[in-house]
């Protein structure tokens, strides 16, 4: 069964460092998303991406965040200068049509120390 | 702010019973509604989606939607200990594409 894959599964970084989280969405999907979940809190939307551009972003997705689809398969989230409060699980999701079910990757646990 | 509200629980039911999980949403124009299950430390896993008023059944799961009351629910029949997890209600608002999640309801099925 096709699945969304994310790497790494766990990343530890020092405050102020840049991190790149990677995702390979399901191959025929067209809409890609990043969500995050701080421990004990709800899943929060960060950004959506369609047709090689950002289609929607939340207030959380400020200038320290960026997304890119560098080739036909990968979808990345970059955090330029990490802060302690960026520590969370980051989930990539994708679907092939709007307003349909989205499938989530297994997540990357980011720990900023 | 468009809200999705769920009782955080925990909801405890005995094995074999029906578990009823509820969710309300504030955006009246919302069109798409989803239930995800999340085990601790894992990613959300889709259980069901529903778009139209009424009931939708899939195996032991039934989703119910009432747009007039802005209410969506999930019933789990013959609950099993393996159903113990956090159940996330998610809504796509009319104006966007992204899922807006509730905080989730923790379900505990006791043997």
Residues of A whose CB is below 8 A from B91 = none
- Chain B's closest residue to A33, CA to CA, is B98
pLDDT in tens, A52-106: 899 999 999 999 999 999 887 899 999 999 999 999 999 999 998 877 889 999 9
Chain A residues in contact with B100 by the CB 8 A cut-off are 45
| Mean of the per-residue pLDDT values of chain A | 94
Calpha distance B92→B101 (Å, rounded):
9
Average pLDDT over residues B23-36: 94
Contacts of B95 (CB under 8 A, 6+ apart): B29
Q: Is any Cβ of chain B less than 8 angstroms from the Cβ of A53?
A: no
**pLDDT reported for residue B93:** 84
% chain A with pLDDT above 90: 83
Predicted confidence at residue B96, as pLDDT, reads 81
Q: Are strands A103-104 and B4-5 parallel, antiparallel or unpaired?
A: unpaired
Q: Is residue A31 within 8 Å of A98, Cβ to Cβ?
A: yes
């Amino acid at each position: 069964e096709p699945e969304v894959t994310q790497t790494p599964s766990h990343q530890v970084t020092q405050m102020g460092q840049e991190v790149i989280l990677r995702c390979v969405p399901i191959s025929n999907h067209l809409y890609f998303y990043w969500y995050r979940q701080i421990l004990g809190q709800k899943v929060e939307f960060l950004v959506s991406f369609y047709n090689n551009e950002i289609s929607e972003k939340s207030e959380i997705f400020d200038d320290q965040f960026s997304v890119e689809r560098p080739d036909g398969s990968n979808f990345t989230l970059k955090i330029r200068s990490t802060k302690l409060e960026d520590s969370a699980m980051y989930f990539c999701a994708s679907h092939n049509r709007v307003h349909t079910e989205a499938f989530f990757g297994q997540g990357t646990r980011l720990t900023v120390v | 702010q468009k809200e999705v509200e769920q009782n955080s629980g925990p909801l405890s039911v005995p094995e074999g019973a029906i578990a009823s999980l509820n969710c309300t949403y504030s955006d009246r124009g919302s069109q798409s509604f989803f239930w995800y299950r999340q085990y601790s430390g894992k990613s959300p896993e889709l259980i069901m989606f529903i778009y139209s008023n009424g009931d939708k059944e899939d195996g032991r799961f039934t989703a119910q939607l009432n747009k007039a009351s802005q209410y969506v629910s999930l019933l789990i029949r013959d609950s099993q200990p393996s159903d113990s997890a956090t159940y996330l209600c998610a809504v796509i608002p009319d104006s966007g594409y992204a899922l807006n999640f509730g905080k989730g309801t923790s379900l505990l099925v006791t043997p």
